Structure 1
Amino acid sequence: MSTPAPLQTAAALRAAGRHPALPLRAQLADGRSLTLHRLLRVLPGKRLVGEAEFEGRRVLAKLFIAPASARHWQRERSGIEALAAAAIPTPALLAAAPLQNGGHALLTAFLDGADSLAARWEAEAAEAAGSARALAVLAPAFTLLGRLHACGLVQDDLHLGNFLVHGDRLLVIDGDAVRALRPERPLDAAQAAANFAILAAQLPAGWDARLPLLIEAWRSADDALPALDVPALRARIAATRSARLQAFLGKVLRDCTLFRVEQRLDRFSAVVRDQAEALAPLLADPDRALAAGQLLKDGGTCTVARTEIAGQALVIKRYNIKNAGHALSRAWRASRAAHSWVAGHRLAFLGIATPAPLALVEERFGPLRRRAWLVNAWCPGRNLLEHLAPHVDRGPPAAEAEALRQLFATLHRERISHGDLKATNLLWHEGRIVVIDLDALRQHRSAAAHARAWRRDRARLLRNWPAGSALHRWLDTELPAA
């Protein structure tokens, strides 16, 4: 007979932080126990979420382990019960009870083979806003949101990861964020617009022009839903999206669910958390990984190499210190690696293709910065100077033309300047233009500052091709005006 997993209290699980030993057993106050086999999410000291076994069946277990966990546990329970009462699809609640010696447990049905809508959307995110394939993923979520609103409910943490696809059903999860504003009555227009905007703000801004399609899917849930003011809704979505971006960028340099950050007197590092284990050898000695890679550039200010770690192709960029004066000028400022790290996550958040930023390392002496390293995913695309060379005298092919329009419309709308917009810093890969070398990238607060920077960017890009060429003329016509 196998030895039972060790019994853990809420206090022991709090002390274990992000890495409690598995499997682990937790006991409900009524004497029943569950065994947690796989963690899906950890909020250290607050909550564990994972796959567990309870009374002979697989369940999704949420263990609320903070000393004052009753409020969150009860809110989650109430939200699930409100969804069930309104016949909104959600995983069945199987048990909700205190744990022995503190904490609380909430167990729902484990849906084998279920997929988050976020994962489905990731496969279609590059589709043009309003395309049939993209709408096939998004429309059911907005229709389900309409069903919530028709029942007087809102979900305050609306994102595609909180919708679950199981077979031919779409379900709402995360009862903790569900509230009843007008029980059994449809929300009014202001309430509905505020909640609708949270979900719509998860999408790239290009979808704002296709808002009527999303509203149509939402209204299809119930004729009693109120009419929405489209211009006002667009403004609300833009404000919500901006707030989301700032909140996200506030996380990229601190330890959290998404990023693992370590800081010592002599070193600072940040890494995408699910890459931390694979990149650990590189982070321990980035110069060794750089030296072992294929050298791409060896200049005074930076050294760049391509390497491979755990089967993943990467680019390591070391930002060098040229001399004592250069060291002094850089010591008190954020490193160029840190700037590029944040810029890469900014572009990715906005749906602008760029190699995934995976890790950042800085040499430090207390608050003073020295050398720094940035690790990005490798993009095998060809730069536009080479890729468009055969088309200089006839303009870009249709796919590249549309990608150029979309890229610069997005950059212009978001008031982003690149700062070194050479054609070699734009790669053509899998039907998209990928932006690289983000050392000087800026998102401007004012339209005037962006206009000045855009004039420089535009002129720099056009200088890549002869002024009389068809490609130069096409770009001059199609790019946003200076």
Structure 2
Amino acid sequence: MKMIDCKWNKLTICQPQFHTQKMQVVLQDVDSAMQTPLKILKDDPTSTVVVVSVDDEPIVIKRSNTKGVLHGLRRLVCTSRAKKNWHYAKRLALANIKTFEPIAYVEDRFGPFKKRSYFICSLIKGIDALHFFSQINYQSQWEVVAQKIVELIQQLGDEHLSHRDLNLSNIILVKEQPYLIDLDSMRQYRWRLHANRATQHAVKRFMENWQDYPEISAQVAQIFTSHFQARGLLC
């Protein structure tokens, strides 16, 4: 069950357990709530992501920004990024794949046409994998965590899912367990063949990204390579 408020200029979806009086205030004017963040996680032409406090708990608000006129026109008829995050967070939960808990999403609309959207979710209190693998003091844990990330990628493929933007900064570690974030580009495949191809592409791109991480030693890349090869995900 979910709380739904559908108007000609706005669609609001919220999980009932989070639909408190204070949350309703946030949902009425999300931009205002974002003006006093506890922390800014990201702010660029694509999206703005902040941490705010609601009911004395930190939560994440992600606003999808418009990069230009063509991008804005395309977004009018496409599924909003907020709705994608909501849908795939629930899909991952069904598959026992760890991610954030979806709280609510809001779409600013003009009738059937979608404009700006907002996604609200729980804050994952952990360390991002990019920072984890760049710190030598975590070296004793690299092997175990790398294996769990490889298992996660394989599990996505088994579920016919692909993150499609998988990199170390989109993985948060909590007690050595990987959590996926940033589900904007995720896709579900109907056929196993397409899912397998997507997984192979994801692994290839994941490994090619090491050149963008000069702060991470070659040892980490070797660890991931060995685990991918052991599972037949990398030639």
Q: Do the structures match in fold with TM over 0.5?
A: yes
Partner of 1:261: 4
Instruction: Give the drift of 1:335.
Output: 0.7
Instruction: Give the drift of 1:385.
Output: 1.2
Name the CA distance, whole Å, in 2 between partners of 1:468 and 1:381. 22
SS, match of residue 346 in structure 1: helix
- 2:226 is aligned with 1:477: yes
Contact in 2 for aligned 1:423/1:464 (Cα 8 Å): no
SS, match of residue 184 in structure 2: coil
Q: Structure 1, residues 87-136: CA drift from partner, whole Å, max 9, x if none?
A: xxxxxxxxxxxxxxxxxxxxxxxxxxxxxxxxxxxxxxxxxxxxxxxxxx
SS, match of residue 321 in structure 1: coil
Name the CA distance, whole Å, in 2 between partners of 1:305 and 1:282. 13
* TM-score (norm: length of structure 1): 0.44
Contact in 2 for aligned 1:358/1:375 (Cα 8 Å): yes
Instruction: Give the drift of 1:396.
Output: 4.8
Name the CA distance, whole Å, in 1 between partners of 2:80 and 2:135. 39
Name the CA distance, whole Å, in 1 between partners of 2:184 and 2:84. 6
Name the CA distance, whole Å, in 2 between partners of 1:399 and 1:279. 39
Seen in structure 2, the aligned counterparts of structure 1 residues 266 and 386 have a Cα distance that, compared at 3 Å, is: same
Partner of 2:50: 305
Instruction: Give the drift of 1:296.
Output: 1.9
Contact in 1 for aligned 2:142/2:220 (Cα 8 Å): no
Partner of 1:320: 65
- 2:104 is aligned with 1:359: yes
Partner of 2:131: 386
Partner of 1:13: none
5+ residue gaps, structure 2, are none
Partner of 1:284: 28
* TM-score (norm: length of structure 2): 0.87
Partner of 1:338: 83
Contact in 1 for aligned 2:157/2:196 (Cα 8 Å): no
Q: Structure 1, residues 298-346: CA drift from partner, whole Å, max 9, x if none?
A: 1112111111111111110101123332221111111111111101111
Name the CA distance, whole Å, in 2 between partners of 1:381 and 1:457. 24
Name the CA distance, whole Å, in 2 between partners of 1:454 and 1:399. 21
SS, match of residue 263 in structure 1: strand
Match of 1:349 among 91, 94, 97: 94
Instruction: Give the drift of 1:458.
Output: 0.9
Partner of 2:15: 272
Note the aligned Cα RMSD (angstroms): 2.3
The one-letter amino acid of 1:268's match is L
Contact in 1 for aligned 2:154/2:199 (Cα 8 Å): no
Name the CA distance, whole Å, in 2 between partners of 1:465 and 1:356. 29
Instruction: Give the drift of 1:389.
Output: 1.6
Instruction: Give the drift of 1:436.
Output: 0.4
Q: Which has the higher helix share?
A: 2
Considering Cα pairs closer than 8 Å and 6+ residues apart, tell me whether 1 or 2 has the greater RCO.
2
- 2:170 is aligned with 1:421: no
Instruction: Give the drift of 1:395.
Output: 7.9
Instruction: Give the drift of 1:464.
Output: 4.0
Q: Number of aligned residue pairs: give it.
A: 225
Instruction: Give the drift of 1:468.
Output: 8.4
The one-letter amino acid of 1:444's match is Y
Name the CA distance, whole Å, in 2 between partners of 1:268 and 1:345. 19
Name the CA distance, whole Å, in 1 between partners of 2:148 and 2:198. 22
The one-letter amino acid of 1:388's match is F
Contact in 2 for aligned 1:396/1:471 (Cα 8 Å): no
5+ residue gaps, structure 1, are 1-257
The one-letter amino acid of 2:16's match is R
Deviant stretches of 4+, over 4 Å: none
SS, match of residue 463 in structure 1: helix
Instruction: Give the drift of 1:449.
Output: 1.6
